[in-house]
Amino acid sequence: MVIAPHADDEVLGCGGYLLHQVKEGARVVVVLGTIGGSNARQDFDMRLAEAQKVNERLGSELFYLFKNKDAILDTVPSLEITAKLDQYIEQYRPDEIFINYRSRHQDHIKMYDCAMASMRLKEGYMPKLIALYEYPFVSDGLDIVRGGKIYHDITDNIDEKVALFNLYASQVKDAPSPLNESGIKSLASIRGLECGMEYAEMFYVQKMLL
C-alpha cells in the first residue's frame, strides 16, 4: 500500500519499486489524500482521469479520501483522515506500507502525521515494512529525515517510471522545477551513486519486521 497526499507523489516516490512489485505478482493499493482543488491545474475531473490512467498502466488499485482538498488538506480534522486510512489498512492488511516523508508542504505534513498515526499497533496485524518515500523536492533544504536508508535498483525501469509520471501531464513542469524527466532522473542518479547502481529509489525505514 502506498499512501500519498496527491496523485503523482506515489510515482515520484516509489514508481520504480511499484512497477517491479506488480510484475512479480504483488497486489498494489494506492490511497491518495485528495484529488482536485481550486487551482486550474487541479481540476478534479482532469486529475482523476490522469490518476486512473496511471494506475491502469501500473496495474494498481486506486482510492482517494477527499475531493478538491489540494493545498488545504491541513484543514481536514486529523481524526477524519486517520479513520479513513484505518479502514483501508484494515481491509487490505498490506505487507508493506509506504508513506510520504513530511517535507515542507502542508498537505504532505498532514498526510504524514495521519498516516503515522494509523501505523500504531493493531491487534493481530503488523506490516513487515513501514517506510517513507521521497520525491524530487528533497534537495530543497529538507531537514534530516529519521530512519535508516534502504535502496531499490530501478536502472532497468527508470524510463518506464518517467513515462508513468508523464501521464500526469498537468503536473509536468519545466526546469528548474524537478517535476520532469530530468528532475526524476537526477535524483535517481544521485541515489544510484549512493548504492552502486545507475538509478535507484531510496526509502527511510520506520519499522521492519524480519
pLDDT given at position 135: 84
Q: What pTM, to 2 d.p., does this model score?
A: 0.95
**Given the DSSP bridges, would you call strands 96-100 and 61-67 parallel, antiparallel or unpaired?**
unpaired
The answer, yes or no, to whether residue 141 has pLDDT greater than 60, is: no
pLDDT given at position 143: 61
The answer, yes or no, to whether residue 142 has pLDDT greater than 60, is: no
Higher pLDDT, 141 or 11: 11
The answer, yes or no, to whether residue 139 has pLDDT greater than 60, is: no
pLDDT given at position 138: 65
pLDDT given at position 146: 79
Q: Can you give the CATH number for the domain in which 97 is found?
A: 3.40.50.10320
Higher pLDDT, 35 or 175: 35
Burial string for 62-88 (b: 16+ CB within 10 Å, else e) reads bebbbeebbeebbebeeeebbebbeeb
Specify whether the backbone of 191 is left (phi greater than 0), alpha (psi in -120 to 50) or beta: alpha
| 56-115 confidence digits (pLDDT tens) | 999 999 999 999 999 999 999 999 999 999 999 999 999 999 999 988 899 999 999 999
Domain count, the chain: 1
> With contact defined as beta carbons under 8 Å apart, do 28 and 18 qualify?
yes
Looking at every residue in the chain, the average pLDDT score rounds to: 95
pLDDT given at position 120: 93
41 HSE (CA, 13 A, CB side): 10
Provide the residue range defining the domain that includes 164: 2-208
Nearest CA-CA partner of 53 in 26, 33, 35: 35
pLDDT given at position 32: 98
